[in-house]
């Protein structure tokens, strides 16, 4: 244990809580980390399971493609197999998570340096890092995308570097491919604006020195969530993690590098990143949903590996969304977008911002839900504000009303088909960077942005499905008959879209009661002459007993 108390759970306590809530599967049978582990977990994302049914997987009996056995267990999906898992890690209800982030960013807590750190229970240095089955080769790092990936790759990382000028540390989630027992290659993204670790790399390169680095696996959840979160440049993530925890995060000094690391980490890989030589890395299945092909990236020579006595190795399941990495980002990003439009830009009528997850991985399609009747100017301000809030998000931005299920592509297409006039409601904006994707900004190939207003421009007739009352009555009969379990897909009942009268409600009620003949008597009294067939009739404009007005379309 550390020599100081803490106000936050470590990974072991987090897993125990997931297990208590029925959100953890423990797999005790032998599983090949190179060909079976990630595909097994992947099935809960592509097998037709509801998001709420997804869980974390803890593998306790691990082998590799050569039949070698490993002593350390691996957990996949422990941070965000679904939003409920993320919520457990944040120790907050989903609705309260954004407020908790806002409070933490505004009220950071400095970390506390400790000497007796669990992450130093076992220390491996020097010759003990060399050879098959030693150093990196002893860690059960899975192949993320069997059939495409060329190496076991660290994914659930908190990669720590330090600005050589300011001394401020950065912690980012970057992938790292294993190359030998004491060498790996790190990809610190060169995306628009530059990742924090990459900015440090450029400074060390200019100084002609290698860059000290610590790759941390299995931080306490509050710390682990910092890697994917987007904070202002120069903010030390460990202080914001302290804000989440409501107390200082315990840190300790690295054994061979001048960096501080979370004391309760499961495993830490220390080393020096070469700022002169680059080495090919990948192919690797990336979070944008395509395989990243080989590129030159940053070799790192390992100087030490330290770990807890009973370390658990986390691995993010990423690649095609939905995935664990996309859930982590979606839960964190969507409230940020909503707050930006509502509070920073003061746009009226914004109900929520949703980043489309399946296949597009949050980065390409943004949907803004607007209140019905919001002025057109505010809708376009919202579309522009969302499109350019982050450089790699919002290539396609769509505004809809709140009756549209933003997670249902059919519902979005319905809004686009009936509520949008392309020549008036679509704008194309040039000069957008490629961002994170199979085409990258360093290829000097520009992209563009499309904005679409698919909100209702006025009242419309109801959705042509039986109303909720009758659908629920039929559902009861369905269940009494013992038919298959229903999973209602929105919209599953009809509702008014504004162009509807109480008069028609009464007529529909009589028809459903078998009294259609009464409706026939009423309509008989409303016969008129001098109109062309299909001329609109509204009982509020031509009620019974009122002389007919001038015929329309006569």
Residue 52 has pLDDT above 50, yes or no: yes
How much is the pLDDT for 552?
Answer: 43
463-to-154, 225, 495, 497, 500 alpha-carbon distances in Å: 49, 42, 6, 7, 11
How much is the pLDDT for 336?
Answer: 85
Q: Which domain holds residue 177?
A: 94-310
Q: Which of 310, 344, 374 is the last residue of a domain?
A: 310
Between residues 543 and 536, which one has the greater pLDDT? 536
Is 2 inside a domain boundary?
A: no
Using pLDDT thresholds of 50, 70 and 90, give the confidence band for residue 21. very high
Residue 230 has pLDDT above 80, yes or no: no
How much is the pLDDT for 192?
Answer: 55
Same domain, 183 and 237: yes
Residue 228 has pLDDT above 70, yes or no: no
Is 388 inside a domain boundary?
A: yes
Residue 240 has φ and ψ, to the nearest 5°, of -70, -35
Residue 189 has pLDDT above 80, yes or no: no
How much is the pLDDT for 322?
Answer: 86
Q: Name which of 178, 208, 213, 209 is nearest 196 in CA terms.
A: 213
Same domain, 266 and 338: no
Residues 414-428 pLDDT 10s: 999 999 999 999 999
Residues 112-167 pLDDT 10s: 999 999 999 999 999 999 999 999 999 999 999 999 999 999 999 999 999 999 99
Is 523 inside a domain boundary?
A: no
Using pLDDT thresholds of 50, 70 and 90, give the confidence band for residue 553. very low
Residue 233 has pLDDT above 80, yes or no: no
Between residues 206 and 409, which one has the greater pLDDT? 206
Residues 370-387 pLDDT 10s: 999 999 999 999 999 999
How much is the pLDDT for 63?
Answer: 96
Give the span between the Cα atoms of 443 and 192, in whole angstroms: 12
CATH code (residue 373): 3.40.1670.10
**Max Cα-Cα span within the chain:** 102
The whole-number average pLDDT for the span 430-453 is 76
Same domain, 305 and 332: no
The whole-number average pLDDT for the span 245-269 is 97
Same domain, 278 and 402: no
Which two three-digit tokens encode residue 516?
A: 């259609």
540-to-268, 504, 517, 537 alpha-carbon distances in Å: 74, 10, 21, 9
Is 211 inside a domain boundary?
A: yes
Is 130 inside a domain boundary?
A: yes
Same domain, 381 and 435: yes
Residue 194 has pLDDT above 70, yes or no: no
Give the span between the Cα atoms of 317 and 85, in whole angstroms: 14
Same domain, 302 and 328: no
Residue 305 has pLDDT above 70, yes or no: yes
CATH code (residue 293): 2.30.110.10
Residue 65 has pLDDT above 70, yes or no: yes
Same domain, 255 and 106: yes
Other CB atoms closer than 10 Å to residue 448's CB: what's the count?
10
Locus of tokens 């240095």: 125
Between residues 184 and 538, which one has the greater pLDDT? 184
Residue 390 has pLDDT above 90, yes or no: no
Residue 549 has pLDDT above 80, yes or no: no
Report DSSP state, residue 51: G
Between residues 102 and 34, which one has the greater pLDDT? 34
Q: Are 143 and 324 in contact (CB under 8 A)?
A: no
The whole-number average pLDDT for the span 9-13 is 98
How much is the pLDDT for 1?
Answer: 44
How much is the pLDDT for 441?
Answer: 47
Residue 99 has pLDDT above 70, yes or no: yes
Is 102 inside a domain boundary?
A: yes
Same domain, 296 and 387: no
The whole-number average pLDDT for the span 477-487 is 92
Residue 360 has pLDDT above 80, yes or no: yes
Give the span between the Cα atoms of 200 and 190, in whole angstroms: 12
Same domain, 256 and 328: no
How much is the pLDDT for 554?
Answer: 39
Question: How many angstroms separate the first and last alpha carbons of the chain?
Answer: 89
Using pLDDT thresholds of 50, 70 and 90, give the confidence band for residue 193. low
Handedness of CA 203, 205, 207, 209 (dihedral sign): positive
Same domain, 336 and 303: no
How much is the pLDDT for 382?
Answer: 98
Which two three-digit tokens encode residue 111?
A: 């970390």
Using pLDDT thresholds of 50, 70 and 90, give the confidence band for residue 542. low
Which two three-digit tokens encode residue 447?
A: 């992209």
Same domain, 162 and 290: yes
Same domain, 291 and 399: no
Give the span between the Cα atoms of 271 and 261, in whole angstroms: 13
Q: Which of 453, 485, 512 is the last residue of a domain?
A: 453
Average pLDDT, the chain: 91
Is 242 inside a domain boundary?
A: yes
Q: What is the CA radius of gyration of the chain?
A: 29
**Single pTM value for the model:** 0.85
Is 80 inside a domain boundary?
A: no
Q: Which of 310, 344, 361 is the last residue of a domain?
A: 310
Using pLDDT thresholds of 50, 70 and 90, give the confidence band for residue 534. confident
Using pLDDT thresholds of 50, 70 and 90, give the confidence band for residue 191. low
Residues 450-478 pLDDT 10s: 999 999 999 999 988 899 999 999 999 99
- The total domain count for the chain is 2
């Amino acid at each position: 244990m550390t020599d100081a108390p803490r106000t936050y759970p470590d990974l072991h306590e987090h897993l125990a809580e997931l297990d208590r809530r029925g959100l953890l599967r423990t797999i005790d049978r032998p599983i090949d980390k190179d060909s079976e582990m990630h595909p097994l977990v992947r099935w809960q994302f592509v097998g037709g399971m509801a998001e709420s049914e997804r869980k974390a997987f803890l593998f306790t009996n691990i082998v590799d493609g050569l039949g070698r056995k490993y002593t350390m267990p691996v957990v996949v999906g422990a941070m965000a197999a679904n939003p409920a898992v993320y919520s457990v890690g944040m120790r907050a209800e989903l609705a309260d998570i954004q407020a908790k982030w806002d409070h933490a960013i505004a009220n950071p807590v400095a970390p506390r340096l400790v000497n007796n750190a669990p992450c130093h229970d076992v220390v491996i240095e020097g010759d003990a890092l060399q050879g098959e089955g030693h150093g990196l080769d002893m860690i059960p790092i899975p192949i993320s995308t069997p059939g495409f990936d060329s190496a076991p790759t660290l994914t659930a990382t908190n990669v720590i570097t330090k600005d050589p000028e300011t001394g401020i540390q950065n912690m980012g989630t970057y992938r790292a491919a294993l190359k030998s027992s004491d060498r790996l290659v790190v990809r610190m993204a060169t995306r628009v604006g530059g990742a924090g670790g990459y900015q440090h790399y450029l400074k060390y390169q200019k100084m002609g020195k290698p860059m000290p680095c610590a790759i941390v696996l299995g931080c306490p959840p509050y710390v682990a969530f910092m890697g994917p979160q987007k904070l202002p440049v120069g903010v030390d993530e460990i202080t914001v993690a302290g804000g989440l925890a409501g107390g200082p995060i315990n840190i300790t000094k690295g054994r061979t590098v001048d960096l501080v690391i979370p004391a309760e980490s499961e495993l830490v890989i220390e080393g020096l990143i070469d700022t002169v030589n680059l080495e090919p890395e990948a192919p690797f299945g990336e979070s944008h949903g395509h395989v990243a092909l080989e590129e030159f990236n940053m070799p790192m020579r390992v100087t030490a590996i330290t770990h807890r006595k009973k370390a658990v190795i986390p691995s993010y399941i990423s690649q095609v969304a939905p995935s664990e990495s996309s859930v982590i980002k979606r839960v964190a990003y969507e409230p940020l977008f909503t707050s930006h439009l509502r509070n920073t830009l003061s746009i009226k009528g914004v109900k929520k911002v949703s980043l489309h997850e399946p296949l597009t991985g949050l980065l390409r399609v943004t949907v803004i839900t607007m209140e019905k009747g919001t002025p057109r100017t505010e809708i376009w301000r919202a579309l522009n504000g969302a499109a350019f809030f982050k450089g790699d998000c919002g290539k396609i931005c769509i505004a809809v009303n709140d009756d549209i299920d933003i997670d249902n592509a059919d519902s979005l297409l319905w809004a686009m088909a009936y509520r949008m006039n392309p020549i008036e409601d679509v704008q194309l904006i040039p000069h957008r960077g490629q961002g994170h994707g199979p085409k990258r900004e360093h290829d000097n190939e520009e992209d563009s942005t499309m904005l679409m207003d698919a909100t209702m421009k006025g009242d419309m007739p109801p959705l042509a499905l039986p109303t909720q009352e009758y659908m629920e009555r039929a559902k009861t009969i369905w269940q009494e008959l013992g038919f298959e379990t229903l999973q209602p897909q929105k919209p599953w009942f009809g509702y008014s879209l504004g162009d509807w009268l109480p008069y028609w409600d009464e007529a529909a009620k009589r028809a459903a009661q078998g009294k259609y003949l009464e409706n026939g008597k009423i309509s008989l009294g409303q016969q008129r002459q001098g109109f062309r067939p299909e001329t609109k009739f509204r009982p509020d404009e031509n009620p019974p007993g009122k002389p007919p007005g001038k015929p329309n379309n006569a």
